[in-house]
Chains A and B, each alone.
Chain A
Amino acid sequence: MAQALESDPDVDMILGMGTREPTVPLERAEFVTADQTYSILSRIVRATQVDTIVHTFLVVDSTRVSGRALHEINVIGTMNLLAAAGQAGSPVRQVVVKSSTLVYGSASTDPAWFREETPRTSPARTRVERSLLEVEGFVRDFAEDNPATVVSVLRFANVLGTDIVTPISTNLSRPLCPAIAGYDPLLQFVEEDDVVRCLEHVTRHRVPGLYNVAGAGKLPWSEVARICGCRLLPIPPVATRPAAAPLVRMGLIELPPELESLLRYGRGVDTTRIGKTGFTCRYTSAGAVDSFIGALRLRRSVGHAPPSYTYSQDIEQFFRHSPAVVHNVPDSEAPFLRGPS
């Protein structure tokens, strides 16, 4: 995201914030490490006078973090972020939030295509879904209280791609991937490049509103597994949780509760509204699967690419501020702030 924005001469300054250091080289973007609830954000906003915040740190994968950390990051982190953006005399004019189609849940009573205003049909039971709903609630309130600020919320479908690791990608990269016996749900995917392109699109064009983002079409889970060359491991449709628990414990499969319901009923979101703003995903759902498996095959052959870049404060400082370095970065006037993806 920061790389994409760096190439735009209209953006004067980019400031990244995250709990980990960036893994790609950034030419102009500054970087600050923060704790997971981003409590220093309001000071940074005051100090740098940023006009845009791109909020990409929401956790949508409950297998990586504990329930408490999930709450801290998603709910408290967002509260801090919105508090910083909404403080008195705030320079922030735009907030972009990266959410997920998990907010719709997955149930047998769902429509085949959720529009942005379609309510979910089943109560949210998983922690991730509840925290995302809470976060979107905060963002809605923030948008109401700050009508002068452009607020965009993007709900992305399941992300697949060359680098991103999700329970779905982990399962698909193994010889056996879980399926609920008797169900073959239709799924939508979005490629990670399209995620970045879409964030960039709404940021650059200042598009307010709530949008679904997903690749065109849907494909059944069995076909996804077949494309990725893994066999389906059927888990009984009743007592799914206890049956899957030992397999999850042994590390054979990943099956967080939100994936379990997805593997039963699937989910589809209608992307007409984002299309009307002039954005189309470059990858279809099947294209995203293809991109994922292509990258996986390459990795299987040549191994993980060695880290071509390591963030080092000293070197970055040298490149950016030493008089010996020749560069033509314009002066910061309207700085820009983002979180890590």
Chain B
Amino acid sequence: MTTPKETVEHQRAALVPLPRGEDATRSGHRLSDVDEWGRSEHTRALARKVFAPIYDNWFRVEWEGLEKIPRKGGALLVANHAGAIPSDAPVIMHGIEVELKRPVYGMADFFFKSVPWFGTAWARVGGLPAHPDNALRLLRDQGQLALVFPEGTKGPSKTYADRYRLRRFGRGGFVEIAMRAGVPVIPIAVVGAEESMPTLFRIPSLARILGVPYVPVTANMLAFGPLGVVMYFPSKFKLRVLDPVTFDVPPGQERYSKSRVMEEAERIRINLQETIYAMLRERRSVWFG
């Protein structure tokens, strides 16, 4: 015979699941290698395999100063942006990943995330929206390489007549992020992307209707027809890595002097512009470098 007290105790033992033992974390089984940014190394390797022939044989990419990119630790790579559908981002990411064997995260406009299929594919091969919080976490907390194009869509949307003329570098947000994260900014000058898909003119009214940043009509479309949307001209790519820029300000601050930020951003922009002009002076041919 059990007393009521024992009955209650018995019930507690049998039915009460709490508190459970202080056991280790239950991490569950993952079926894919998609990381917290949506990047999958598996998909990335596949993309590299597909892109390698284009990189090696079509664009015949040549690097200068790759050793200036650190082997470990965070760094913010900034480059000039060009071509109606910019070919510079995949070239830079592919080059650094193949040569340095470390991942590069490409940061771009939020717009891409909202495009079905493309947005997902873009995330899987290492793209992510250029939000300051995203950059800070990547650079400071995870010590990764992040690639940004400070010109934003103003770069690729410019027409061929404006080629190799750098647009405004946003509001200098990239400098502020690098200051806050305490990482260097490494500028990369790219020559060749402008001629791989030159924009002849834009159709702003269609862009408004479609809700996209710009609708270009490219020389590739005239040359290859519909195929021109994805078909690049075989321009010779040359990339030059500039000296890393460090800022002697304490990291982790909520705000930095706006004038200082703008000044640094402008200095980087001018430096990049001068380097591009220097490279263009040395260039004999668009197709053979």
Contacts and interface: CB of A to CB of B under 8 A. Distances in A.
B289 interface: no
Contacts of A24: 15-16
A209 interface: no
Contact of A288 (B3, B28, B134): B28
A27 interface: yes
A217 to B, nearest CB: 6
Nearest to B112: A108
B25 A3 contact: no
A112 B134 contact: yes
B225 interface: no
Contact of A112 (B23, B26, B30, B137): B137
Q: Is the interface of A mostly helix, strand, loop or mixed?
A: loop
A205 interface: no
Contacts of A237: 116
B285 interface: no
Interface stretch (A85-93, A144-152, A176-184): A176-184
B114 interface: yes
Given A111-B134, A182-B119, A286-B28, A27 B12 contact: yes
A220 B38 contact: yes
B226 interface: no
A227 B30 CA distance: 8
Contacts of A3: 16, 18
Interface in B6-40: 8, 11-12, 14-16, 18-20, 23, 25-32, 34, 36-38
Contact of B4 (A25, A108, A183, A319): A319
Contacts of A290: 26, 28-29
Interface stretch (B49-57, B85-93, B125-133, B228-236): B125-133
A118 interface: yes
Interface string A8-44: 0000000000000000110100000000000000000
B28 A113 contact: no
Interface in B105-140: 110-111, 113-120, 128-129, 131-134, 137
A169 to B, nearest CB: 15
Contacts of B31: 223, 226-227
B40 to A, nearest CB: 9
A96 interface: no
Contacts, number: 132
A32 to B, nearest CB: 21
Interface string A183-217: 11010000101001000000000000000000011
B18 A183 contact: no
Contacts of A222: 32
B144 to A, nearest CB: 13
A290 B26 CA distance: 9
B26 A282 contact: yes
Given A112-B129, A182-B119, A319-B4, A25 B15 contact: yes
Contacts of B26: 191, 282-284, 287, 290-291
Contacts of B16: 3, 24-25
A109 interface: yes
Interface in B169-197: none
Contact of A287 (B19, B28, B32): B28
Interface string A132-171: 0000000000000000000000000000000000000000
Contacts of A186: 34, 36, 38
A56 to B, nearest CB: 15
Contacts of B14: 308
A284 B25 contact: yes
A268 interface: yes
Contact of B36 (A181, A182, A217, A287): A217
A326 B120 contact: no
Q: Across chains A and B, which 10 residue pairs bring their CB atoms closest together, nearest first? A: A182-B116, A286-B28, A290-B28, A108-B114, A287-B26, A287-B28, A111-B133, A182-B117, A111-B131, A237-B116
Given A108-B129, A110-B131, A111-B131, 8 more contacts: A24-B16, A27-B8, A118-B133, A186-B34, A227-B28, A290-B29, A308-B14, A327-B5
